[in-house]
Chains A and B, each alone.
Chain A
Amino acid sequence: MKITEEHNWSIPQRQAKAGLFVIIYKALLTVIKAVWPLVLVVIFRERNKTFDTFEMLLIGIPAIILIRSVIDFLYFRFYIENNDLIIKRGFLRKKVITIPLNKIQSVHIEQNLIHQLLDVAKLTIDTAGSEKSEAEIDAISISKAESFKQFLLKIEKDMPDQAQSGRVSTEIPLIHLSIRDLFKLGLSANHLQAFFIVLAFGISMLQSLEEIFGNRVIRIVQESSTAIGISIASVLALIVVVLVISVIVSVVRTVLRYSNFNCNQTEQGFRIQTGLINSRQNLVPFSKIQYISWEANWIRRKIGLFMLEFHQAQNELAKKKQRIRLPITKKEYVDRLLEPYHLAVKPISHSTHSIHKVYPFRKMLFAGLPTAFILTIIAFFWMKWFALIFLLWIPYIYVVNTIYQKRFHLYISPEAFQVNSGVWGKESKIAQWYKIQFLELRQSMYQKRKQLATIIIHTAAGKIKIPYVDLALAQTVKNYALYKIESTAKSWM
Chain B
Amino acid sequence: MDFINDSFNIQHLPKAEEVQHTPIDKSYLTVLRIEWAISSSILIIIAIILTFFIKPIQEPIWISLIIVGWLLLTVGYAFFQTKAFSQKAYALRDKDVIYKSGWIVQKTRTCPFNRIQHSSVSTGFIERKYGLATLILYTAGTDDADLQIPGLKEVDAYAMKEWITQKIIHEDYRGT
Q: Which of A90-98, A164-172, A207-215 contacts B (4 or more CB under 8 A)?
A: A90-98
Complex Cα distance, B3 from A486, in Å, reads 19
10 residue pairs of the A-B complex, CB under 8 angstroms, read: A98-B120, A103-B118, A127-B140, A350-B4, A439-B110, A441-B107, A444-B104, A486-B175, A489-B176, A491-B173
Query: Is B5 part of the binding interface, using a Cβ–Cβ cutoff of 8 Å?
Result: yes
Which residues from chain A contact B53 at a C-beta distance below 8 Å? Answer: 53
Per the CB 8 Å criterion, the residue count for chain A at the interface is: 66
When the two chains form the complex, which single residue of A132, A440, A460 contacts B109, counting CB atoms closer than 8 Å?
Answer: A440
Which residues from chain B contact A472 at a C-beta distance below 8 Å? Answer: 1
Query: Is B147 part of the binding interface, using a Cβ–Cβ cutoff of 8 Å?
Result: yes
Q: Is the CB of A458 within 8 A of B146?
A: yes
Query: Is B165 part of the binding interface, using a Cβ–Cβ cutoff of 8 Å?
Result: yes
Query: Is B74 part of the binding interface, using a Cβ–Cβ cutoff of 8 Å?
Result: no
Query: Is A414 part of the binding interface, using a Cβ–Cβ cutoff of 8 Å?
Result: yes
Which residues from chain A contact B169 at a C-beta distance below 8 Å? Answer: 83-84, 100, 102
Which residues from chain B contact A157 at a C-beta distance below 8 Å? Answer: 172
Complex Cα distance, B53 from A478, in Å, reads 56
Q: Is the CB of B125 within 8 A of A438?
A: no
Q: Is the CB of B138 within 8 A of A351?
A: no
Complex Cα distance, B35 from A51, in Å, reads 31
Main secondary structure of the interface of A (DSSP, over half): mixed
For window 292-316 of A, CB contacts with B under 8 Å fall at: 313-314
Contact with A along B142-176 (1 / 0, CB 8 A): 11111100000000001001000100110011111
Query: Is B40 part of the binding interface, using a Cβ–Cβ cutoff of 8 Å?
Result: no
Contact A485-B14, Cβ < 8 Å, known A448-B106, A492-B173: no
* A residues whose Cβ falls under 8 Å from a Cβ of B: 53, 83-84, 90, 92-100, 102-103, 127-129, 132-135, 157, 313-314, 350-351, 412-414, 436-445, 448, 458-463, 470, 472-473, 475-476, 478-480, 482-483, 485-493
Complex Cα distance, B137 from A79, in Å, reads 20
Complex Cα distance, B176 from A245, in Å, reads 61
Complex Cα distance, B146 from A463, in Å, reads 12
When the two chains form the complex, which single residue of A133, A444, A490, A492 contacts B118, counting CB atoms closer than 8 Å?
Answer: A133
Which residues from chain A contact B128 at a C-beta distance below 8 Å? Answer: 94
Which residues from chain B contact A458 at a C-beta distance below 8 Å? Answer: 139, 141-143, 146
Which residues from chain A contact B123 at a C-beta distance below 8 Å? Answer: 93-95
When the two chains form the complex, which single residue of A133, A413, A462 contacts B4, counting CB atoms closer than 8 Å?
Answer: A413
Q: Nearest A residue to B162 by beta-carbon distance?
A: A98
Which residues from chain A contact B119 at a C-beta distance below 8 Å? Answer: 97-98
Which residues from chain A contact B118 at a C-beta distance below 8 Å? Answer: 97-100, 103, 127, 133, 135
Query: Is B114 part of the binding interface, using a Cβ–Cβ cutoff of 8 Å?
Result: yes
When the two chains form the complex, which single residue of A127, A351, A441 contacts B2, counting CB atoms closer than 8 Å?
Answer: A351
Q: Is the CB of B112 within 8 A of A95?
A: no
Q: Is the CB of A482 within 8 A of B5?
A: no
Complex Cα distance, B1 from A493, in Å, reads 33
Contact with A along B95-107 (1 / 0, CB 8 A): 1100000101111
Which residues from chain B contact A438 at a C-beta distance below 8 Å? Answer: 109-112, 115, 139, 141, 146-147
Contact A479-B176, Cβ < 8 Å, known A313-B140, A438-B141, A460-B142: no
A345 CB → nearest B CB, Å: 11
A103 CB → nearest B CB, Å: 5
Which residues from chain A contact B175 at a C-beta distance below 8 Å? Answer: 485-489
Known: A93-B122, A350-B5, A458-B142; 6 extra A-B contacts, CB below 8 A, are A53-B49, A83-B169, A93-B124, A100-B165, A475-B16, A493-B140
Complex Cα distance, B172 from A162, in Å, reads 17
Q: Is the CB of B140 within 8 A of A462?
A: no
When the two chains form the complex, which single residue of A84, A129, A483 contacts B142, counting CB atoms closer than 8 Å?
Answer: A129
B85 CB → nearest A CB, Å: 17
Query: Is B41 part of the binding interface, using a Cβ–Cβ cutoff of 8 Å?
Result: no
B39 CB → nearest A CB, Å: 15
When the two chains form the complex, which single residue of B17, B95, B108, B140 contacts A437, counting CB atoms closer than 8 Å?
Answer: B140
Which residues from chain A contact B144 at a C-beta distance below 8 Å? Answer: 132
